Amino acid sequence: MKRLSFFLLLISCCFVNANEMNAQFDQANQAYRSGNYQKCAQIYQSILSQGYENAELYYNLGNAYYKMNNVPAAILHYERARRLSPSDPDIAHNLALANLRVTDKIDAIPELFFISWWHDLLDLRSADQWAWIAIASLWGTVFATTLLLTNLLPGSLRTLLSAIVFAGTLFSAVSLTGMIASSRAEKNHHFAIIFSPTVTVKSAPDENSTNLFVLHEGVKIELLDHVSQWSKFKLVDGKIGWAPSSSFEAI
């Protein structure tokens, strides 16, 4: 009975937390509709502080900051939303709008077409989503293979199943490769958004080192190294420099 009571209590707590979370979402949405974007952002941040996150939450929070003309915060949360839902067109659209308001226009180094195509393919899904696709493809392939091995099906259907097995095997391989590549990218590549209005980029982690160039808020950087209160980073155009770690926030 004690185990059952504890289980029922746990379920009740989950329902209570879910109801409270939905109530907070409704309050935030109402604040957004009424134009109180500051209150809306505070409620969404409160939800995040409780350990809850999803793409919709980050997207809505990005919208609130965009309405408050806080461009770096809007970009940061759009990027976090895109990390969880890479193929969402609304996230991509609003992120592009926010980036138009960034002072620095930095062009990425051109890639070979097949490398660009592969990166675009990976960006369609997160590592977790690629994993689920791979699992579904593998199960479908196994099921089709099992039917094919029974030798109880007519020739036309066996031809169709053979095509399904081939396509499923190929799709499973692509999905597994996408999962591994996306997982490695998420693990090894760390990005951040510049939050300081202006940042003088240095040649070394030292205030007295050579000034290289100046960046403004909203620029996305890739973090490479960290020394004391300084971070080494790279821009999409290949430029590398050092800046105070307090000048940016990690995605």
Q: pLDDT by residue for the chain (251 residues), tens digit each?
A: 333 343 433 344 444 466 788 889 899 999 999 999 999 999 999 999 988 889 999 999 999 999 999 999 999 999 999 988 888 999 999 999 999 999 999 988 776 676 677 667 777 777 788 788 888 888 888 888 888 887 767 777 888 888 888 888 888 888 888 888 777 766 767 999 999 999 999 999 999 999 999 999 999 999 999 999 999 999 999 999 999 999 999 99
pLDDT number for residue 5: 42
What pairs with residue 227 in β-bridges?
230
pLDDT number for residue 68: 97
* Matching residue, tokens 């759009």: 78
Count the Cβ atoms, other than its own, within 10 Å of residue 92: 16
pLDDT tens-digit readout, 138-178: 888 888 888 888 776 777 788 888 888 888 888 888 888 88
**How many angstroms separate the CA atoms of 231 and 227, rounded?**
6
Q: Determine whether 96 is exposed, middle or buried from the number of CB atoms within 10 Å of its CB (0-12, 13-18, 19+).
A: exposed
pLDDT number for residue 4: 38
pTM across the whole model: 0.72
Closest CA to 191 of 222, 165, 169, 168: 222
Query: How is residue 28 written in tokens?
Result: 């935030």
pLDDT number for residue 10: 39
